[in-house]
Structure 1
């Protein structure tokens, strides 16, 4: 069977690759053509586009790259028609993927369309649930509250659990011991605070300089930056000037050894929580974007940890609140004491809500069952 899969960022690349591994077990003749990163490339026979060519974040970045984005749309539409897949699997990346789903349906192409890791319709543009349902054949959810949300609009979707648990389970065996980790990367015996400024260039530019300001307030700790493999070292060094360790491809080892973390909102908040690391969530989309979002976003929290738990379990610092004084204060609160203990207790509840390991296997089985129905 021929699969065409589109992911738009690093986390989607990882989860799609794990799903592909499971699909291969069920379909020994699986043939993949993908838009993704290095992990998907390892599992696929063909790479159509790498996420380095397709990932644009923020209103101004999108506007600046409109011609490139339009070219990518046209290329993808033509590429799908020429490849003639049995199924198109869309991973997150709603701005791009929903247009492609619409194109496939409006052109009457004989291609099944699956959506895995859904657009956040529950956060804004809630009526997109009708669009998503209309342009897809099967929907697979990774967040425990999404089935009820879609049901309120009259649609049934499949909750398969969060694939981040699978990723963690795979990585655990390869994690370095505390001694190996510190020795390999030349770290001291001081307790460690992790900085996760994001996986996209604009996130790093907006948050890393602010995160670095807290370092002087914690002389008894060492700070380590979890670098994104899609970003060049030079961007980080522009702000660190060689004074802070930047480790690529080692986020889980960093979290496994961290006492606390400053984390960009997104999937990283879940990863940090599942490693039982108390965190402060940092979000700075820019003044204009922030005020536009305030008008259209209909959720109480921005961090997935808080959204899933439906409470302010971890502190969120948004836009003007993301300043040196607040970050220092919140970090101090979670390094010791009652607030730290409460966060760790909330993390246990979170893990149970996420559905346990096996999401990649469950979604692959449901997809294969749908594709072979009637055979």
Structure 2
């Protein structure tokens, strides 16, 4: 296979995890591969010397980006120049499309024949279908996390492989991790999101939902996994909840909670896949600014936002979005899951199918992604 020099670019912690697994897979398949680019601690542990701290790129939303616009623009140029000056055999961008695809555009403009690969297909199946066509101008090959994504990319002229979702490779709780959550009464796992704005908006609704649920289940117990950086806010916002939640911030405790909870009330997002990996029945609830909701519904091409519903091609996970994100609607759905064996069984089957379709039991996603990269680069 020979020596291979690859520029990898990640801008978020999730991208750092994907990049590190990809690097490990590439080293396993081709010991002569070397890396340079931008990555976080996990990618650095695999041998990456980052051009600058990855955290500089971890900004979200127009309000956060605008003050850093010119700085980010300089970083885009710096990355593109490094690809071109560093004799890279290929550019691999990992998620963070607003930044990474701009780098790819500069690289393609300067050296059209340089292979460009993007890891994590954009959600064109959900909205903005024209984004795939725009992406195809600067990306040659895509590594997709969801099994139904390749046709959307291929339709625009890119090659694309489904390489499996990283959730299938994440460790599950072992016996010792669950001891802290043993006790009488149903255990509800509450997941109001990881951003301050989400937690602030959802905490009152989730608290009122638990008040209703406690009327039906007086011995209700609640555990709330959180990030250390927002745990103080969570503590403040849940102080008046009818059931005082057990707030956990370390990874092992979180895994244990996911493994033993009877039901979960979660914000919309990839957390539904983490719950599915652990076989935890769930109800999804999410609220947002009225304009964002109006825009989303106007552009949406799908009738569910829950990945378990999409991947399993069922609609067994109840979801309460926008005006439906109300305690009087959410609480009965949670109660139904706690008391109806057939409802739990339906979700269990959909979650098992989801994990199977995402690659559980097969080759690890990082290795599959590495194989896809090497096959693409070696293709005639």
Q: Does the TM-score normalized on the shorter chain lie above 0.5?
A: yes
Distance 1:50 1:237 in 2: 31
Match of 1:144 in 2: 147
Deviation at residue 92 of structure 1 after TM alignment:
2.3
In 1, are the aligned partners of 2:8 and 2:92 still within 8 Å (CA)? Answer: yes
**Mean Cα displacement is larger for which, 294-303 or 73-82?**
73-82
Distance 2:348 2:282 in 1: 10
Match of 1:306 in 2: 309
In 2, are the aligned partners of 1:23 and 1:364 still within 8 Å (CA)? Answer: yes
Distance 1:198 1:53 in 2: 22
In the alignment, structure 1 segments of 5+ residues that lack a partner are none
- Distance change in 2, residues 1:8/1:208 (3 Å): farther
- Distance change in 2, residues 1:287/1:67 (3 Å): same
In the alignment, structure 2 segments of 5+ residues that lack a partner are none
In 2, are the aligned partners of 1:197 and 1:204 still within 8 Å (CA)? Answer: yes
Residues 1:182 and 2:179 aligned together: yes
In 1, are the aligned partners of 2:39 and 2:48 still within 8 Å (CA)? Answer: no
Residues 1:365 and 2:371 aligned together: yes
In 2, are the aligned partners of 1:182 and 1:189 still within 8 Å (CA)? Answer: no
In 2, are the aligned partners of 1:4 and 1:34 still within 8 Å (CA)? Answer: yes
TM-score normalised over the length of structure 1? 0.85
- Distance change in 2, residues 1:125/1:203 (3 Å): same
Distance 1:79 1:320 in 2: 43
Match of 2:194 in 1: 199
1:167-207 Cα deviation digits (max 9, x unpaired): 2xxx13xx331x55334xx7645442212223333333333
Residues 1:344 and 2:348 aligned together: yes
Find the partner of 1:283 among 276, 283, 286: 286
Deviation at residue 316 of structure 1 after TM alignment:
1.2
Residue 135 of structure 1 aligns to a residue in which SS?
Answer: coil
Give 1:10-29 correspondences, 5 Å limit: 10-29=13-32
- Distance change in 2, residues 1:256/1:39 (3 Å): farther
Deviation at residue 299 of structure 1 after TM alignment:
1.5
In 2, are the aligned partners of 1:34 and 1:44 still within 8 Å (CA)? Answer: no
In 1, are the aligned partners of 2:142 and 2:158 still within 8 Å (CA)? Answer: no
Distance 1:201 1:4 in 2: 33
Aligned length: 362
TM-score normalised over the length of structure 2? 0.84
Match of 1:215 in 2: 210
Match of 1:244 in 2: 245
In 2, are the aligned partners of 1:11 and 1:267 still within 8 Å (CA)? Answer: no
Match of 1:77 in 2: 77
Distance 1:198 1:34 in 2: 30
Supply the RMSD in Å over aligned alpha carbons: 2.7
1:2-56 Cα deviation digits (max 9, x unpaired): 4333334443332322222212223334444454544334334323455644334
Give 1:56-71 correspondences, 5 Å limit: 56-57=59-60, 61-71=61-71
Distance 2:301 2:247 in 1: 36
Deviation at residue 246 of structure 1 after TM alignment:
2.3
Match of 1:120 in 2: 123
Residue 47 of structure 1 aligns to a residue in which SS?
Answer: coil
1:285-339 Cα deviation digits (max 9, x unpaired): 3211111122222212111111223332201111121122222121111113122
Distance 1:151 1:76 in 2: 27
Residues 1:274 and 2:272 aligned together: no
**Mean Cα displacement is larger for which, 208-217 or 253-262?**
208-217
Deviation at residue 343 of structure 1 after TM alignment:
1.1
Deviation at residue 138 of structure 1 after TM alignment:
1.3
